[in-house]
């Protein structure tokens, strides 16, 4: 049975899975601990990317806040790529909290 997703969700999942594949492919040569860190970054990235896409489609967060969230996503990706996983996870968490607080009521 096929599950139908809204277009933004399909795009977010596709982009997220692509990023996940790229990140984890770069980790395959690393030791198990490093690979676990890369996987954590990639999974969190997908979660935050889907949140950004969801709020953009729902139009319940201002465009400035969405831009800030996407910039934070880029910063977290850079931190992950540099091996600063804890820093990256904190950035991902901060983006998620900021999006939740920015929802228009």
Instruction: Please state the pTM of the whole predicted model.
Output: 0.70
Say how many domains are in the chain: 1
Q: Phi/psi class of residue 2: alpha, beta or left (left: φ > 0; alpha: ψ in -120 to 50)?
A: beta
- Asked if the structure places residue 48 within a domain, the reply is yes
Number of CB atoms found within 10 A of residue 28's CB: 9
What is the residue range of 55's domain? 33-102
- Asked if the structure places residue 63 within a domain, the reply is yes
CB 55 within 8 A of CB 94: no
pLDDT attached to residue 80: 87
- Residue 4 confidence class, pLDDT cut points 50, 70, 90: very low
pLDDT attached to residue 82: 85
- Asked if the structure places residue 20 within a domain, the reply is no
Find the range with the poorest average confidence among 33-37, 68-72, 73-77, 90-94.
33-37
Instruction: Decide if pLDDT at 5 tops 50.
Output: no
Q: What is the mean pLDDT of residues 92-98?
A: 95
Q: E-strand spans in 9-83?
A: none
């Amino acid at each position: 049975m096929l599950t139908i997703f809204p277009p933004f969700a399909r795009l977010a999942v596709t982009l997220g899975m692509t990023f996940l594949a790229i990140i984890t492919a770069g980790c395959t040569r690393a030791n198990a601990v490093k690979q676990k860190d890369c996987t954590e970054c990639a999974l969190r990235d997908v979660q935050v990317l889907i949140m950004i896409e969801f709020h953009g489609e729902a139009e319940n967060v201002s465009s400035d806040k969405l831009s800030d969230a996407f910039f934070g996503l880029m910063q977290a990706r850079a931190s992950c790529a540099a091996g600063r996983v804890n820093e990256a996870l904190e950035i991902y968490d901060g983006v998620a909290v900021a999006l939740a607080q920015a929802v228009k009521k």
